[in-house]
Homo-oligomer: A and B are copies of this chain.
Amino acid sequence: MKENKKQNWRSKLHIIIYEADTPKGKLFDVVLLFAIIASIVLVMLESVEWIDNKYHDILDISEWIITILFTIEYIARIVVVKKPIKYITSFYGIIDLLSTIPNYLTLFFAGSPPLVAFRALRLLRVFRVLKLTRYIGESTNFVRALKASRAKITVFLFFVVILCIILGTVMYLVESKESGFTSIPRSVYWAIVTLTTVGYGDIAPITPLGQFIASIIMIMGYGIIAVPTGIVSSEMTKVSKKDVQTNTQSCPSCASEHHRDDAEFCHQCGHKL
């Protein structure tokens, strides 16, 4: 009976922590979201020197409160869930662990900042908590289109990288070293900065020939940027056309398909759908 009670208590907590349909579950998610945002703002403020100097103690204490809260949450998640191993090895499980660890490490080592970056990853939870994907509308279509585009865009970006290596090498040979093209890796970096139209200007060609080649690269970049956009656009148009305008219902009389969603009669034989 005690076991049953405990079970009951666990399933209640499970609903609060893992589901967001009950008022309590919603409250938990919102509080968690604010805690995540607070933890990130904290890490950000700590990195600003003058703030850290002035409010070091307050920041330190807040940091520990957040860390302990996250630790409790992490343990609660493990306790409550039926298959803890599955949660621990899941994407969110690993992120949850990694975002609690860094502060504990500071007890043993002086400053272990590299892991704080994982805390920002917790922000991805915002999509789950706020159910933002709901706003995407026909999200399955959207995701399907992105997946169909992904492979093509990967190949495209791969091609862009090779192009940048070639163009960077050429620019290294052409440009004088005073203008920043001191090595091939740096020149390749410059080619990427240019082709993607970012254009910092920390490295910029100064010789006429270098500027001429740079102009060609820029105009190429202007034309090339159309390719990924074209891929995504066409995939999305294709996907949205399939599903939105017609449905999969087939006419009981003539078996014609692709009727409009609001059609009540078959557009081929006039039979009632």
- A residues near B (Cβ < 8 Å) are 40, 43-44, 47-49, 113-114, 116-117, 120-121, 123-124, 126-127, 132-133, 135-137, 142, 145-146, 148-149, 151-162, 165-166, 169-170, 172-173, 182-186, 188-189, 192-202, 204, 206, 208, 211-212, 214-215, 218-219, 221-223, 225-242, 244-245, 256-272
Contact = CB atoms under 8 A, between A and B. Distances in A.
A126 B242 CA distance: 35
Contact of A142 (B152, B256, B261, B262): B152
A95 to B, nearest CB: 11
Given A199-B193, A236-B230, A166 B120 contact: yes
Contacts of A121: 166
A260 to B, nearest CB: 6
B222 A157 contact: yes
A80 to B, nearest CB: 27
Contacts of A142: 152, 231
12 contacts: A48-B185, A126-B158, A135-B151, A136-B155, A149-B226, A160-B219, A194-B198, A198-B218, A199-B199, A233-B234, A233-B237, A257-B262
The 3 closest A-B pairs by CB, nearest first: A230-B232, A265-B270, A234-B236
A123 to B, nearest CB: 5
Contacts of A261: 257-258
A198 B197 CA distance: 4
A236 B231 CA distance: 7
Q: Which of A182, A188, A215 has the most CB of B within 10 A?
A: A215
Contact of A241 (B47, B155, B208, B238): B238
B44 A184 contact: yes
Interface of chain A: mostly helix, strand, loop or mixed: helix
Nearest to A266: B265
A121 B162 CA distance: 8
A162 to B, nearest CB: 5
Given A116-B169, A229-B229, A267-B260, A200 B197 contact: no
A193 B199 CA distance: 9
A132 B238 CA distance: 23
A272 B148 CA distance: 32
B233 A47 contact: no
Given A166-B117, A183-B44, A208-B185, A265 B256 contact: no
A195 B223 CA distance: 12
